[in-house]
Chains A and B, each alone.
Chain A
Amino acid sequence: MWKKVYEWLDERLGLNDMYTNLLDRPEPKGNWWNTLGSASLFLFVLQGLTGIFLTVYYTPSPDHAYDSVQYIMEGVAFGWLIRGIHHWGATLMVIVVFIHLLRVFITASFKFPRELTWLIGIGLFLATLGMGFTGYLLPWNQKAYWATTVGTQIAGSVPFIGEFILKALRGGPDLSALTLQRFFSAHIWIIPAVLAGLIGVHLFLIIKHGESHFPTKED
């Protein structure tokens, strides 16, 4: 019975091909440093899932953002756990992605034929920082408000177009409801969409070229 179901699915999906092409691949001898990429992916998925739960109660307006986060922490069953994981996951994701970048740098894995994988990877690193930056404002507490004030000020110090960047980020000269609204939008739609797309290309390239081996005296 199960065999029949499997065969039916295999004919239509090509499960056997997937197995040989995706899973049963040869790889160079790896070690624990090779797990950082998959750990980053895991954290991305975890942040996505916990983030979706948070949007159920979170309200992106200066009047209600703080109270809605307070409600998630105190009123919602296991809300504290979901928010706690999301909060610490963000910190850990920045660290893990950065160490992943360092590992690739040290072993020179960015060299031929993996240059494009590196470029996409830098995009992923910057997008991760962007997620952190936009997500930090959302609880609308003192720390968040002033961190974003400073952060956008630094972006505003660019010569000539600084003023424009500052206003585009804040939605006006000062932090306001508009700032919160666009940071929220960037945090849950724009940057995650970019991240997901780049992750897709990144993974495709890794499967295409295989994981690099650790360099020896020969390299």
Chain B
Amino acid sequence: MNEETKKKINARYEKELNKGERFWPDSIFKDVVVSLGIFILLVLLASFVGVAPEPKADPSDTSYIPRPEWYFLFLFKFLALYGQIPLLGKIEWLATVLIPGIAVGVLTLLPFIEKSPDRHYAKRALSISVMTIMVVGIILLTLMSEIPTVSADGSKLLGLLQAAAGLAIPGVAMIVLFIASFTGRQTNPRFFIWTTGLTVVSMIIISGMVMNLHTPPAVEETEVANTVVDQIFAGQDLYSVHCTECHGDDGSVAVIEGVEGLEGEKITPINSHDVLYTITDSAMYEVIAYGRPNAGMTPFGKAYGGELSRSEIDYIVTYMRYMWDDRFEIPAEALKPLFPPLAEGEVPSYEVHIQPIVKRYCISCHRAGKENNNYLMTSYEEILTTGDNAANNIIAGDENSYLLQVIQEHAIMNPEKPAEELIGVMPPNRALKPNIVDVFIRWIMNGMPQTAIDAAALFTIPTPEATTTP
């Protein structure tokens, strides 16, 4: 750039300054308005959208689908699409390092690449067109980042369309624009506007098709317990499922009963002072995660082949502390009853009464992969229809339903060999409290309503004693 052009540019700027405004207060005023707007927007976002809760980091959880930060999603998608290209797609660093490196390099050195002093839009058609296509590409790739390149039924259509919208069309368009601007004498801005416009529109249409064709899979909601009370509840549910079988529902078991392979094993009651006062939270975490192979306790942590994530084990530890450790004061809200007490004549429902009871006392054994005569109890349908004795387990309105018999401490004898137990008493080591047995009796005698509404329809207001009539 020669001195004359520089002088011209400076003189041009002086002219603009003369018919311009003052930094204070004209520009500052607008700056303050925008900053204030941003601040209000942030307070609103923080108050009404908040920060989505996430479970604690768990390096052993290989099932977690890793995603980068949202502003790198486009690069992630770009990599996935690039990987589809035959041959070239195998050289990963071309896409991860070379192409982004060139992009950042060009952007950085822009003032030395685009050297002409021209500033008006019409004279910079190539730069603006390329940038527009890039920005639209980045936005579309970000929007499509959640959509897989191979759909669930194995069709590669989505991947091809994505590659067309995100790689091929913008790539070809940019090459055309470059060639037009360097070889042909194509300087008419209209050509650039039309090419860019058509490119962008076709990219948007194809991306729109991709997003319409793809039906997002149902998101599995991960429960994150934020408050201590929620953590205690979560821990209690997990404890009921995973620990009750051996340790009992209150952790007091000293000799294991009714568990195959561990029958008669002596263990320390885990609700005892000895355990709670001598074992720290982290040691307790490790016992649950690693198990105690010598004492027959299998590992529960995902890292060691168990089922529990880090957060889940933490919840169990929190539950044990607050429930049994007398140095901890349990929050009043954590002590709510398992199910609302029944009034006279009220009929319990699966949703409100049976489900929490079953979860606490039965699921520990009555779920897939356990010794339970194939009787699973994790859902309403399963409770009514599964099991080797499904026909007799639950019979509406029948006191002799097997389930009612065994929870009232009457074992079911094998009809063919009367000396042999077909089903032992349930739960094997400890009888249910009378009010819980009462819930089951009322539920089965009234035809096992599923929802609270069904149950309410069966509510019979107790008829007053027949003393009123003379």
Residues of A with Cβ closer than 8 Å to B? 22-30, 32, 34-36, 38-39, 42-43, 46, 62-63, 66, 70, 73-74, 80-81, 83-85, 87-89, 91-92, 94, 96, 102, 105-115, 118-119, 122, 126, 129, 132-133, 136, 139-147, 149-151, 154, 157-159, 162, 174-175, 210-213, 215-219
Contacts and interface: CB of A to CB of B under 8 A. Distances in A.
Given A38-B35, A89-B42, A150-B67, 6 more contacts: A27-B27, A66-B57, A122-B108, A142-B56, A147-B69, A218-B12
Interface string B1-12: 100011001101
Nearest to A159: B93
Contact of B9 (A109, A113, A158, A159): A113
Contacts of A129: 71
Contact of A213 (B10, B13, B64, B68): B13
Given A27-B23, A62-B57, A215 B121 contact: yes
B38 A43 contact: yes
Contacts of B118: 108, 219
B160 interface: no
Contacts, number: 219
A129 B419 CA distance: 75
A30 B35 contact: no
Contacts of B185: none
Contacts of B57: 62, 66, 140-142, 144-145
Nearest to A98: B71
B112 to A, nearest CB: 7
B428 to A, nearest CB: 37
15 contacts: A23-B24, A26-B23, A27-B17, A81-B46, A83-B51, A84-B50, A84-B51, A85-B43, A92-B38, A105-B110, A113-B6, A136-B69, A142-B56, A146-B67, A219-B120
Contacts of B23: 22-27
B131 A26 contact: no
The majority secondary structure among interface residues of chain B is: helix
Nearest to B5: A112
A27 B10 CA distance: 14
Contacts of B194: none
B220 to A, nearest CB: 13
B54 interface: yes
Given A132-B71, A157-B92, A159-B93, A42 B27 contact: no
A27 B226 contact: no
A110 to B, nearest CB: 5
A182 to B, nearest CB: 16
Contacts of A25: 22-24
Interface string B55-80: 11111010011111111100110010
B104 A150 contact: no
A140 B314 CA distance: 15
B96 interface: yes
B356 to A, nearest CB: 25
A43 B34 CA distance: 11
Nearest to B112: A115
A61 B24 CA distance: 47
